[in-house]
Copies of this chain bind each other. A is one copy, B any other.
């Protein structure tokens, strides 16, 4: 019996290590970006039926687990409010250190409102650099203005 999506994420992670599957391969299999696909496998996005079946086959999931892949999950992938993992903490630190800057510059350009985290995409790539390669990340989110009413 499976009673939440988190258990399916555990099954996927376990199979991934056991079988040596790469996220890039999963993305190719379903024809979407590696970012969205990984997020979905990790229980942050919802697969449609066809995608779920491909993923279920790849990771050898039961029908029940495959059904859970099509249910909108309870999102949030960090075990604590402030992440302890150094890679993730650096991202939290960027928000913490540059947060007021981001707020000022978006408001200066767009006025009051937000950058959507729903109508949103992310692209993570290697940027070759002789002084040491860099991680290059492009975030694109629709600007949503607060409206008066």
Contact = CB atoms under 8 A, between A and B. Distances in A.
Contacts of A75: 84-86, 96-97
Contacts of A88: 95, 99, 102-103
A112 B46 contact: yes
Chain A: interface size category: 35 or more
Copies in the complex: 10
A97 B76 contact: yes
Interface in A90-149: 90-122, 124, 126-127, 129, 131-149
B17 A13 contact: no
A142 B136 contact: no
Nearest to A149: B121
Contacts of A68: 17
11 contacts: A3-B10, A18-B64, A39-B97, A45-B146, A46-B112, A74-B103, A88-B99, A91-B99, A136-B139, A136-B140, A138-B138
Given A36-B148, A46-B111, A136-B139, 8 more contacts: A36-B149, A74-B84, A77-B96, A90-B117, A91-B102, A94-B117, A106-B135, A129-B142
